[in-house]
């Protein structure tokens, strides 16, 4: 998934703290781009487990995701049986969802992009973002510190005028080895809305990456969505057929 989730899923994800802008230092935009490319690669295939936790209940889904470049992703639910086949396709700036029960592919309009993705704490906007963190924001290095022998950069992302984004701004913490540690999302009034936190940094697909990403809504106790990578493989490329409505309906490798 892009997941990225976004994939998803991220498609499906990034991090932050505030401070005064540094007068000199590494290029903030390049730090973000390097981290994005380290996490996403040229193309990838992943199997993941998504756990949606609420005070009264908990639900788990298994997900398969394919990504290509900075914009394309397809994310398919593979378990449990009642959810199998539900999926999301992201191609360029457009996004579609598929419900196998009604055999219907829907192109998502802007009015639905802020709704929850698969009932989780991620929104359709989160999943569709992909390269938006690179092209729709300006990047400012606001802090630099040493943690466990690594330099950690804090970068503020401010939307460009007219950019199609919902957040007032974001803050991201990125380690000097391109690992994204935390992303914070703020509304138009500057209030923190939710946090995406990375953990269990390990070897995935031949790279050091967080195995677990958890989204925490602010001021909502005992509520989160956790995505765990089960497998991750990077490729030089993937064929066009993966990123089509036909593959969304019937994903066969």
Tens digit of each residue's pLDDT (9 = 90 or more) over 212-236:
999 999 999 999 999 999 999 999 9
Residue 158: inside a domain: yes
CA distance 208 to 219: 32
State the CB neighbour count (10 A cutoff) for residue 146: 9
Based on C-alpha coordinates, what's the Rg of the chain? Answer: 17
From the number of C-beta atoms within 10 Å of its C-beta (0-12, 13-18, 19+), residue 235 rates as middle
Number of residues in the chain: 253
The set of residues, in sequence order, having a beta carbon less than 8 Å from that of 203 and lying 6+ positions away, is 209
Residue 235: inside a domain: yes
With the CA atoms of 146, 149, 150 and 155 taken in that order, what torsion angle do they form, in degrees rounded to the nearest 10? Answer: -10
Given CA atoms 124, 64, 227, 182 in this order, what sign does their dihedral have? negative
CA distance 249 to 195: 32
Tens digit of each residue's pLDDT (9 = 90 or more) over 155-176:
999 999 998 888 999 999 999 9
Q: What is the separation of C-alpha 194 from the centre of its chain, rounded to a whole number of angstroms?
A: 13
Residue 10: inside a domain: no
For residue 86, give the DSSP letter. -
Residue 120: inside a domain: yes
- Tokens 């957040």 appear where? 167
Residue 23: inside a domain: no
Q: What is the mean pLDDT of residues 137-156?
A: 97
Q: Which residues are registered as beta bridge partners of 198? A: 213
Residue 7: inside a domain: no
Domains: count for the chain: 1
**Residue 224 contacts residue 31 (beta carbons within 8 Å):** no
Residue 126: inside a domain: yes
Q: How confident is the model at residue 138 (pLDDT cuts 50, 70, 90)?
A: very high
What's the domain range around 230? 28-249
Residue 19: inside a domain: no
Q: How confident is the model at residue 130 (pLDDT cuts 50, 70, 90)?
A: low
Task: Give me the CATH number covering residue 111.
Answer: 2.50.20.10
Predicted TM-score (pTM) of the model is 0.86
């Amino acid at each position: 998934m892009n997941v990225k989730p976004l994939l998803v899923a991220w498609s499906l994800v990034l991090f932050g703290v505030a401070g005064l802008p540094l007068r000199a230092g590494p290029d903030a935009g390049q730090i973000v781009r390097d981290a994005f490319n380290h996490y996403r690669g040229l193309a990838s295939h992943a199997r993941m487990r998504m756990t949606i936790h609420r005070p009264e209940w908990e639900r788990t889904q298994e997900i398969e995701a394919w990504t290509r470049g900075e914009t394309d992703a397809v994310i398919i639910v593979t378990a449990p049986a009642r959810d199998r086949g539900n999926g999301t396709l992201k191609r360029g700036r457009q996004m579609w969802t598929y419900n196998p029960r009604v055999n219907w592919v829907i192109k998502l309009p802007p009015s639905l992009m802020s709704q929850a993705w698969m009932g989780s704490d991620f929104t359709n906007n989160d999943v569709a973002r992909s390269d938006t963190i690179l092209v729709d924001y300006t990047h400012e290095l606001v802090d630099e510190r040493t943690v466990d022998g690594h330099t950690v950069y804090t970068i503020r992302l401010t939307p460009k005028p007219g950019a199609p984004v919902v957040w007032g701004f974001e803050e991201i913490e990125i380690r000097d080895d391109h690992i994204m540690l935390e992303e914070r999302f703020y509304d138009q009034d500057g209030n923190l809305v939710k946090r995406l936190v990375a953990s269990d940094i390990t070897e995935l697909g031949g790279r050091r990456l967080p195995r677990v990403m958890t989204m925490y809504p602010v001021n909502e106790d005992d509520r989160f969505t956790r995505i765990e990578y089960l497998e991750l493989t990077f490729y030089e490329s993937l064929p066009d057929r993966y990123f089509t409505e036909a593959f969304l309906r019937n994903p066969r490798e």
